[in-house]
Amino acid sequence: MSERRNAAALARAFRLHVAQTSTAPLGLAIASARGAWITDTKGRRYLDLLAGMGVVNLGHGNPAVIRACQTQLRIHLHVMVYGEYVFETQVRLATRLAALAGPPFESCYFTNSGTEAIEGALKTARKFTGRSGLVGFALGFHGDTFGALSVGGNPVYRDPFLPLLPHATILPWQDEAALRAIDRRTAAVVIEPVQAEGGVRIADPAFLRILRARCREVGALLIFDEVVTGLGRTGTLFGFQQSGVRPDILVLAKALGGGLPLGAFLASRKILSTLTRNPPLAHVTTFGGHPLSCAAALAALEETVTRDIPARAAKSGALLLAGLQSLAARHRIVRAVRGAGMLLAIELATPNATRKFAAGCLARGIIVNWTLHRDTVIRMAPPLTLTRAEITLALATMDEVLGTL
Ligand code: PLP
C-alpha cells in the first residue's frame, strides 16, 4: 500500500516539479533497465525499441561501460574546463575517433550534447569561411538551441521563437535544382544522412554526392549531422561510410557517450584551429568532454568495434525490415515501411492510427513512438544488440496491434 502511495506521490511530483514539455508523457516510472528491457516500479517489463531515442546502442547497463565509469570515478571527475588539461580518456577517445573516421577528421571538439555540437560546428563554419549563410533541409532536426533551430526544417517549431539566426535558408529535401541556393555567401550546409525526426527519410547517395560537389564548388562547408546515424545505428560505424560522401564536419552525440551525455564535432585541424585565434578561446565549454562521459564513450566505442556491432545492426535491421514489410502486406493501414540498419519506420494512414498503435504496443509491453516532425510515422531505434527472439516478439506484438486498428 505504501509503495502504491509512493508511486502516486512520485508521479504527482513529476508533473508538478519536473518541467513538462509533452502534453502526454509516456510516464513510465523506471525501476531498472538491462539490455533491451526496462522494468517499471510495478515490476512490469517493456521491450525498448527506442533505446532512449537512439542512445543506448549496446543495450542498457552494458558491463564494459559500467566498469569504465567505475574506474574513472575512482580517478577523477571534473578538473578543469575543456581544452586546458590533458586527461587520458579524452585524448584516447579523440585519437580513436579520428582513426576510425579517417581523413579529414583529424581533430575532435567535445560538447555535452548534440545541439551544442551543432552550434559549435555552425560557429566554426562561419568563422573559418568568413561567411554568414547557413543552409538546412525541410524536416531536418538538429536540436533546440537557437542556431540548431535556425537550420531546423519545421516552421511549427521555429516560428514561436522568431527571429532566429539571419541568413539561414531551408531547402526542399532532395531537390537537386534547389541546391543552386548554396552559393559563395554560404558558410555551411547541414544535413542528416537519414532524417530521424523527419520520419526516417533516407538521403539518396546520389543526392549527397551532388550536394558535396556543390559545396566544394562554392567553398561552403558540408556538415553531416550524425547525431542519430553515427556509431553503428545504420549498419556502418558512421552513416557517411554508406554513401562514401565525406563531409567537412562530422557531428556526433546520442550513442557516443555510451549512455552518458557527450557530443562532438570532428574536422581537419585546419578547420578546427579557427577556434584558437582571433580571438583565442573562440568557443569554450565547462563540461564538454567530461572525463566520465569520455571513459564511458571509449568503452562503448571499443565494444562497438570489437564486437562489430554495426554489422550486427545491418543484419538485425534487415530482419526487422523484412518483418515490417510482411506486416505492411497484411495490414492496409500501413502506408510504407523503411529502414537504414536499426533506424526504422512504419508509416500509417493517419496520426490517430500512430497514436493508437504506440499506445497498443505500450499496453502489450513494447516501447515505440512517432517522430517529432511526422506524426504518421512510427520510429524504431532499438538497441543494436536486439536478439532474434526479441525481434520476433516485437513483430508479433506489432502484428497484433495493427490488427486492432
Ligand atoms: N541532431 C539530430 C539528428 C537529432 O535527432 C537530435 C536530437 O534528437 C539533435 C541533433 C540534438 O541532440 P541533443 O538532444 O543531444 O541536443
Q: Each residue of 161-179: pLDDT tens digit?
A: 999 999 999 999 999 999 9
**Best of 145, 149, 228, 240 for a ligand 1 pocket test (most atoms within 8 Å of beta carbon):** 228
Ligand 1 contact via 197 beta carbon (within 6 Å)? yes
Residue 2 pLDDT grade (very low, low, confident, very high; cuts 50, 70, 90): confident
CATH at 292? 3.40.640.10
Q: Are residues 50 and 183 in the same domain?
A: no
Ligand 1 atom with the smallest distance to the CA of 253 is: 15
Based on the fold, state whether residues 376 and 252 are members of the same structural domain.
Answer: no
3-state secondary structure of 374: coil
Q: Answer yes or no: do 283 and 338 share one domain.
A: no
* Cβ proximity of 118 and 190 under 8 Å: yes
Choose one of 141, 201, 250, 285 to mutate for the ligand 1 pocket test, by most ligand atoms within 8 angstroms of C-beta.
141
Q: Using the 3D structure, point to which of 291, 306, 321 is the last residue of a domain.
A: 306
Any atom of ligand 1 within 6 Å of the Cβ of 256: no
Question: In the numeric block, which cell numbers belong to residue 266?
Answer: 570532428
Domain-ending residue, one of 283, 306, 329: 306
CA of 330 to the centre of ligand 1 (A): 34
Same domain, 39 and 134: no
263 shares a domain with 241: yes
Distance 222 CA to ligand 1 centre (A): 18
CA dist., res. 246 & res. 249, Å (int)? 9
Query: Ligand 1 pocket test: which of 254, 370, 371, 372 has the largest number of ligand atoms within 8 Å of its C-beta?
Result: 254
pLDDT digits (tens, 9 = 90+) for 16-58: 999 999 998 999 999 999 999 999 999 999 999 999 999 999 9
Per the structure, how many domains does the chain have?
Answer: 2
Residue 128: CB atoms within 10 A of its CB come to 21
- Measured CA to CA, the distance from residue 377 to residue 358 in angstroms comes to 10
Confidence of residue 282 (pLDDT cuts 50, 70, 90): very high
Q: Do the beta carbons of residue 284 and residue 137 sit within 8 Å? A: no
Please check whether residues 239 and 121 belong to one and the same domain: yes
The residue range of the domain holding 273 is 63-306
Alpha helices of 102-180 — where are they, by DSSP H?
Answer: 114-129, 146-150, 155-158
What is the residue with the minimal CA distance to atom 8 of ligand 1? 143
- pLDDT tens for each residue of 342-387: 999 999 999 999 999 999 999 999 999 998 889 999 999 999 999 9
Domain match, 285 and 367 both: no
Ligand 1 pocket residue status of 113, Cβ below 6 Å = yes
My answer on whether 10 and 147 are in the same domain is: no
Give tens-digit pLDDT for 196-236.
999 999 999 999 999 999 999 999 999 999 999 999 999 99
Looking at residue 1, its pLDDT comes to 52
Q: What is the CATH number of the domain that holds 341?
A: 3.90.1150.10
Calculate the dihedral angle through the C-alpha atoms of 123, 129, 130, 132, rounding to the nearest 10 degrees: -60
State yes or no: pLDDT of 303 exceeds 70: yes
Tell me: do 121 and 185 sit in the same domain.
Answer: yes
87-104 average pLDDT score: 98
User: Is the domain of 161 the same as that of 38?
Assistant: no
Overall average pLDDT of the 290-300 stretch: 98
The model's pTM is 0.98
State whether 210 and 258 are in the same domain. Answer: yes
Which residue's CA lies nearest to atom 4 of ligand 1? 142
> What distance in Å separates the CA atoms of residue 30 and residue 43, rounded to the nearest whole number?
9
- 187 CB under 6 A from ligand 1? no
Q: Does the structure show a pLDDT above 90 at 7?
A: no
Average pLDDT of the residues in 314-341: 98
143 lines ligand 1 (CB under 6 A): yes
Last residue of a domain, one of 288, 306, 324: 306
> Are 154 and 259 in the same domain?
yes
As a whole-number percent, the residues of the chain with pLDDT over 90 amount to: 97
Q: What is the pLDDT of residues 234-259, one digit of tens each?
A: 999 999 999 999 999 999 999 999 99
Measured in angstroms, how far is the CA atom of residue 9 from the centroid of ligand 1?
32
Residue 261 CB-half CA count within 13 A: 10
Question: What is the rounded average pLDDT for all residues in the chain?
Answer: 97
